A and B are shown apart, each in its own frame.
Chain A
């Protein structure tokens, strides 16, 4: 049952709370602060839990029920499985009896339910409170969060950050056990046994978490428990049934290409997080010339050491020399991925990979604002043109506009700017959560907003956009302005159009983003406006 349970996680068969036993739930339950939060909140208010399919709503509530932590609360595990009227009746009855209610609900059905709650006098205030919380439990500032409800708390698991060291490590520790490896002689040569050994240590679990977190961040992906389990399962089992595993174990060669990250980066797995690792977080793609040379020629790094037993690989160069070019390249990549997990150089290799994403956790608001402003400027004005540009273009964020009725991409269009956003008009805003949620949903989401305070227009800066902006600041040549940036500038420009603008002006024409820049002053005269050379001090 152990291997079947692990393998079944890949396609979600054994993560479905409705299909698992209490013992299985117990075996796979990853403790998070959410357990305590729900148990605490339900003591004083009703609790509605919403989230993505696979986020673990029902699993959590069943687990808390199994442990007797929901008291005598009325529990409705799936709103979609009942008709609204009967759910409202049960809620109404519980309210009259002074019992709490715990409801698991997807957002669509919940919205429909809310529309009906107004007709129930006992529940109409509950409905209003839920409506006030829906979609508003992460906001750019505490002032924009809803007031603490008096009757019912909403917990949105879509706001939960799951790929943290605590969660992934706990999950790995639950499955890197002999119970999950088939009890047969051939199993010694199976991928699940190798995965067990590779992912067993603290350091490799921590690095595995980094890879997943990096992938999720770069793909701007909300990770559900089902996806996390599917990813761990695929890394360990490759989606193979026990019979297939046995057949494959005989073909198990020198071990290369058979490690957990090999499978996650193979492109063969199904699932958003697996895709994200494949596309965005393959350590073999991080450039490190000295390590690459060592691996190519020797089959192992020349510095640092393997954690645990040193694996023996044929040097890729030897394979290449013997005409096995494909195998050489695969072996090279496989060793490098294993270094990322199980070698003392692993952290440095992942730093390199992470550095490519440009993420800078812990950066101050000031530093981030400077970086974002620089990136926004450089999307449009190259470093070379900027050197000769007037101050207003160099120090603020020019509000570029373009107009074509054709299908040209923004990077091919001429742009014009007559205003720039001053630094003091911009704020970096971090996601805020209501105090009553505490740390129950993990760390806040890994994005920020850049807000133009006077207009209220916000640019959501997720990992992908942050990477684009940092990249833009570093590289020369054509660069496609991201669509959200063009929309943000269009919103700011729309606000500026509504402000009084009399008298002199300045103008900058761009032949295209990062193209030729032409600037001029526009002087208002009694006869009308005229172009002039820009002021010398600019």
Chain B
């Protein structure tokens, strides 16, 4: 090896400033445990200009009534006398007879189930207070902001999308905000999410993703629903972003199957996995070029081939034996939590691939069919998705097969692609965002009768 793994990690990750990964992607990837709820909390804080100065401690303590970890005491009496949150808690949960002790306990438990369902809220003061919340006054401290994923999403959204996110987190009329209204604690905002490094200029992929995400945000759906859809398709976007590194326009060529309970064939799974492998190979080449340039600039002349070899060596290590968090592993872990990676584990070593959930299919539909617009042809929807985001399902069997072959996926089976798109159409139809047309075609939209 040309250098120690520690040296390599220092160059790739953000140890002494923005590393190769961050400078390539615009966000850091130093974890495998980040969840959707962290990304959304991060995005909200970027859009709003920071997190509430209370760090989400009130909500964290309200839902941890029974916990006694590290000497914490979240009993009713302790909460009422705590400063400064005691005043808010006392107002939200008045003493009997206005609110019985029994109902107060039930409520604290129910609120806990609601906001901690994704496991984003831990002990106060640990920067792990990412609740499933929809209002700025309920946000908490979020340790994963340091990776800048929320910042990246915010940047690609552009002014209109950014304003829409701000408006969403500022309104209190949705069911979650209304249900948690007594716990909304408006406070000054502190410590906005820092940019992880100098962001690379937006690629055509970034611009298309941002424009489409902005369209999604304009749909007049319940806020919790729209936020969930946003996260699912933003996760998809992050996955595709990483797979598109080194490709023209930053666009990958990724084949997605369906995550629904239909058995896609081994051939199709193999093709989808091969498309991911091709994306990872292109990613490694691009990273190696940047790494080689960095080393050369530091008077350690290294060829791109040598740098590629270095990356391959660390990639060959088991995750538990390495401290290197590769971008593809980062986005696979994130997408897997949204149910979009199959198989769920890769113990067999066949590799993993992208699989669309019905949430992702609905979100993609709403990204391409603005509110009030007529439905669009199913094929046109996926033409747009492929052109903008580099995601393929086989809607244009011949064209998609050619694109996949050009991207290095050998042995593409047209009939498997055709079956795949039919499965995804069935998913969309069941969801209510697509329907068959008289001529055997189909159309998609968010307001089908």
Whether, in the assembled complex, A313 has its beta carbon less than 8 Å from a beta carbon of chain B, the answer is no
- Partner of B179 from the list A406, A418, A489 (CB cut-off 8 Å) is A418
Contact A509 B118 (CB under 8 A): no
Contact A509 B449 (CB under 8 A): no
- Partner of A108 from the list B36, B225, B437 (CB cut-off 8 Å) is B437
Contact A509 B179 (CB under 8 A): yes
Interface residues of B in 317-337 (CB under 8 A from A): 337
- Partner of A494 from the list B176, B179, B222 (CB cut-off 8 Å) is B222
CB distance from A335 to the nearest CB of B (A): 34
CB distance from B61 to the nearest CB of A (A): 16
Knowing A107-B438, A414-B113 touch, does A507 contact B178 (C-beta < 8 A)?
yes
Contact B439 A522 (CB under 8 A): no
CA distance A140 to B104 in the complex (A): 46
Knowing A404-B132, A405-B118, A498-B173 touch, does A520 contact B107 (C-beta < 8 A)?
yes
Give every chain B residue within 8 A of A13 (Cβ-Cβ). none
CA distance A31 to B173 in the complex (A): 58
Whether, in the assembled complex, A32 has its beta carbon less than 8 Å from a beta carbon of chain B, the answer is no
Interface residues of A in 417-437 (CB under 8 A from B): 417-419
Contact A529 B92 (CB under 8 A): yes
Give every chain A residue within 8 A of B222 (Cβ-Cβ). 401, 489-491, 493-494, 497
Chain B: CB-nearest residue to A525: B91
Knowing A403-B227, A403-B228 touch, does A50 contact B438 (C-beta < 8 A)?
yes
Contact B337 A458 (CB under 8 A): no
Contact B439 A403 (CB under 8 A): no
Give every chain B residue within 8 A of A527 (Cβ-Cβ). 91
The listed residue with most B CB atoms (<10 A of its CB), out of A55, A110, A413, A531, is: A531
CB distance from B51 to the nearest CB of A (A): 18
Whether, in the assembled complex, A438 has its beta carbon less than 8 Å from a beta carbon of chain B, the answer is no
Contact B431 A530 (CB under 8 A): no
CA distance A460 to B432 in the complex (A): 9
CB distance from A441 to the nearest CB of B (A): 12
Give every chain A residue within 8 A of B91 (Cβ-Cβ). 525, 527-528, 530
Give every chain B residue within 8 A of A2 (Cβ-Cβ). none
CA distance A417 to B219 in the complex (A): 20
Give every chain B residue within 8 A of A402 (Cβ-Cβ). 224
Whether, in the assembled complex, B441 has its beta carbon less than 8 Å from a beta carbon of chain A, the answer is yes
CA distance A52 to B174 in the complex (A): 42
Contact B431 A487 (CB under 8 A): yes
Interface residues of A in 211-268 (CB under 8 A from B): 222
CB distance from A230 to the nearest CB of B (A): 16
- Partner of A483 from the list B134, B221, B358 (CB cut-off 8 Å) is B358
Chain B: CB-nearest residue to A429: B449
CA distance A263 to B315 in the complex (A): 56
Whether, in the assembled complex, A484 has its beta carbon less than 8 Å from a beta carbon of chain B, the answer is yes
Contact B107 A518 (CB under 8 A): yes
Whether, in the assembled complex, B241 has its beta carbon less than 8 Å from a beta carbon of chain A, the answer is no
Contact B449 A490 (CB under 8 A): no
CA distance A458 to B222 in the complex (A): 15
Contact A531 B221 (CB under 8 A): no
Knowing A401-B224, A494-B220 touch, does A528 contact B182 (C-beta < 8 A)?
yes
CB distance from A321 to the nearest CB of B (A): 39
Contact A55 B438 (CB under 8 A): yes
CA distance A140 to B449 in the complex (A): 8
Contact B100 A401 (CB under 8 A): no
- Partner of A403 from the list B171, B224, B339, B433 (CB cut-off 8 Å) is B224
Give every chain B residue within 8 A of A106 (Cβ-Cβ). 438-440
CA distance A490 to B132 in the complex (A): 17
Give every chain B residue within 8 A of A306 (Cβ-Cβ). none
Contact A497 B171 (CB under 8 A): yes
CB distance from A440 to the nearest CB of B (A): 16
Give every chain B residue within 8 A of A523 (Cβ-Cβ). 98
CB distance from A108 to the nearest CB of B (A): 5
- Partner of A490 from the list B179, B225, B437 (CB cut-off 8 Å) is B225
CB distance from B343 to the nearest CB of A (A): 14
Whether, in the assembled complex, A390 has its beta carbon less than 8 Å from a beta carbon of chain B, the answer is no
Knowing A106-B438, A525-B91, A528-B91 touch, does A518 contact B98 (C-beta < 8 A)?
no
Contact A493 B440 (CB under 8 A): no
Contact A529 B224 (CB under 8 A): no
Knowing A403-B224, A405-B228, A531-B92 touch, does A418 contact B175 (C-beta < 8 A)?
yes
Give every chain B residue within 8 A of A408 (Cβ-Cβ). 117
Give every chain A residue within 8 A of B104 (Cβ-Cβ). 531
Whether, in the assembled complex, B364 has its beta carbon less than 8 Å from a beta carbon of chain A, the answer is no
Contact A50 B439 (CB under 8 A): yes
Whether, in the assembled complex, B99 has its beta carbon less than 8 Å from a beta carbon of chain A, the answer is yes
Contact B99 A419 (CB under 8 A): no
Whether, in the assembled complex, A368 has its beta carbon less than 8 Å from a beta carbon of chain B, the answer is no
Whether, in the assembled complex, A444 has its beta carbon less than 8 Å from a beta carbon of chain B, the answer is no
Whether, in the assembled complex, A532 has its beta carbon less than 8 Å from a beta carbon of chain B, the answer is yes
CB distance from A275 to the nearest CB of B (A): 13
- Partner of B440 from the list A53, A483, A507 (CB cut-off 8 Å) is A53
Chain A: CB-nearest residue to B229: A490
CA distance A406 to B223 in the complex (A): 16
- Partner of A414 from the list B100, B117, B448 (CB cut-off 8 Å) is B117
CA distance A520 to B35 in the complex (A): 31
Give every chain A residue within 8 A of B420 (Cβ-Cβ). none
Give every chain A residue within 8 A of B292 (Cβ-Cβ). none
Contact B173 A497 (CB under 8 A): yes
Interface residues of B in 59-115 (CB under 8 A from A): 88, 91-94, 97-100, 103-104, 106-107, 109-111, 113-114
CA distance A499 to B178 in the complex (A): 13
Give every chain B residue within 8 A of A529 (Cβ-Cβ). 92, 181-182, 184
Chain B: CB-nearest residue to A512: B113
Whether, in the assembled complex, A156 has its beta carbon less than 8 Å from a beta carbon of chain B, the answer is yes
Whether, in the assembled complex, A505 has its beta carbon less than 8 Å from a beta carbon of chain B, the answer is yes
CA distance A51 to B439 in the complex (A): 6
CB distance from A505 to the nearest CB of B (A): 6
Interface residues of A in 147-194 (CB under 8 A from B): 156-158
Give every chain A residue within 8 A of B99 (Cβ-Cβ). 520, 530-533
Whether, in the assembled complex, B411 has its beta carbon less than 8 Å from a beta carbon of chain A, the answer is no
Knowing A406-B36, A532-B99 touch, does A107 contact B439 (C-beta < 8 A)?
yes
Give every chain A residue within 8 A of B438 (Cβ-Cβ). 50-52, 55, 106-107, 156-158
CA distance A491 to B432 in the complex (A): 12
Whether, in the assembled complex, A501 has its beta carbon less than 8 Å from a beta carbon of chain B, the answer is yes
CA distance A522 to B93 in the complex (A): 10
Whether, in the assembled complex, A109 has its beta carbon less than 8 Å from a beta carbon of chain B, the answer is yes
Give every chain B residue within 8 A of A108 (Cβ-Cβ). 377, 437, 439, 441
Contact B92 A483 (CB under 8 A): no
Give every chain A residue within 8 A of B219 (Cβ-Cβ). 494
Whether, in the assembled complex, A495 has its beta carbon less than 8 Å from a beta carbon of chain B, the answer is yes
Contact B179 A416 (CB under 8 A): yes
Whether, in the assembled complex, B37 has its beta carbon less than 8 Å from a beta carbon of chain A, the answer is yes
Whether, in the assembled complex, B217 has its beta carbon less than 8 Å from a beta carbon of chain A, the answer is no
Whether, in the assembled complex, B24 has its beta carbon less than 8 Å from a beta carbon of chain A, the answer is no
Chain B: CB-nearest residue to A516: B110
Chain A: CB-nearest residue to B223: A497
CA distance A528 to B92 in the complex (A): 8
User: Which residues of A pack against B, CB within 8 Å?
Assistant: 50-53, 55, 106-110, 139-140, 156-158, 222, 399-408, 413-414, 416-419, 449, 458, 460, 483-484, 486-487, 489-491, 493-499, 501, 505, 507, 509, 511, 516, 518, 520, 522-523, 525, 527-533
Give me 11 other A-B pairs in contact (C-beta within 8 A), A108-B439, A400-B175, A403-B132 excluded: A108-B437, A222-B436, A404-B118, A405-B40, A405-B232, A406-B339, A407-B337, A484-B430, A491-B221, A518-B110, A529-B184
Please list 13 pairs of residues, one from A and one from B, whose beta carbons are closer than 8 Å in the complex, sorted by A's number.
A52-B439, A399-B175, A404-B132, A405-B37, A406-B337, A418-B175, A483-B358, A484-B432, A498-B173, A527-B91, A529-B92, A530-B94, A531-B182
User: Which residues of B pack against A, CB within 8 Å?
Assistant: 35-37, 39-40, 88, 91-94, 97-100, 103-104, 106-107, 109-111, 113-114, 117-118, 132, 134, 171, 173-176, 178-179, 181-182, 184, 219-228, 231-232, 259, 337-340, 357-358, 362, 377, 430-433, 436-441, 448-449
- What 8 pairs across the A-B complex have the smallest Cβ distances? A407-B339, A405-B36, A106-B439, A493-B222, A509-B110, A158-B438, A490-B225, A403-B224
